[in-house]
Chain A
Amino acid sequence: NAGVTQTPKFRILKIGQSMTLQCTQDMNHNYMYWYRQDPGMGLKLIYYSVGAGITDKGEVPNGYNVSRSTTEDFPLRLELAAPSQTSVYFCASSYSVREAKNIQYFGAGTRLSVL
Chain B
Amino acid sequence: AQSVTQLGSHVSVSEGALVLLRCNYSSSVPPYLFWYVQYPNQGLQLLLKYTTGATLVKGINGFEAEFKKSETSFHLTKPSAHMSDAAEYFCAVIGGFKTIFGAGTRLFVKA
Contact = CB atoms under 8 A, between A and B. Distances in A.
18 contacts: A33-B99, A40-B9, A42-B90, A42-B104, A43-B44, A48-B98, A50-B97, A99-B51, A99-B97, A100-B32, A100-B52, A102-B32, A102-B94, A102-B99, A104-B36, A107-B43, A108-B43, A109-B42
A58 interface: yes
Contacts, number: 54
Interface SS of A by simple majority: mixed
B28 interface: no
A107 B44 CA distance: 8
Nearest to A101: B51
Interface of A: 4, 31, 33, 40-43, 45, 48, 50, 58, 90, 92, 97, 99-100, 102-109
Interface residues on B, range: 20 to 34
Given A40-B9, A99-B32, A108 B99 contact: no
Contact of A41 (B45, B52, B103): B103
Given A90-B43, A92-B43, A104 B103 contact: no
B17 interface: no
B97 A97 contact: yes
B99 A104 contact: yes
Closest 6 CB pairs of A and B: A106-B43, A97-B97, A100-B51, A99-B32, A42-B103, A99-B94
A106 B44 contact: yes
A4 B101 CA distance: 19
A58 B98 CA distance: 9
A103 B43 contact: no
Contacts of A90: 43-44
Contacts of A105: 45
A76 to B, nearest CB: 15
Contacts of A4: 43
Nearest to A91: B43
A77 B41 CA distance: 22
Contacts of A107: 43
A108 B45 CA distance: 10
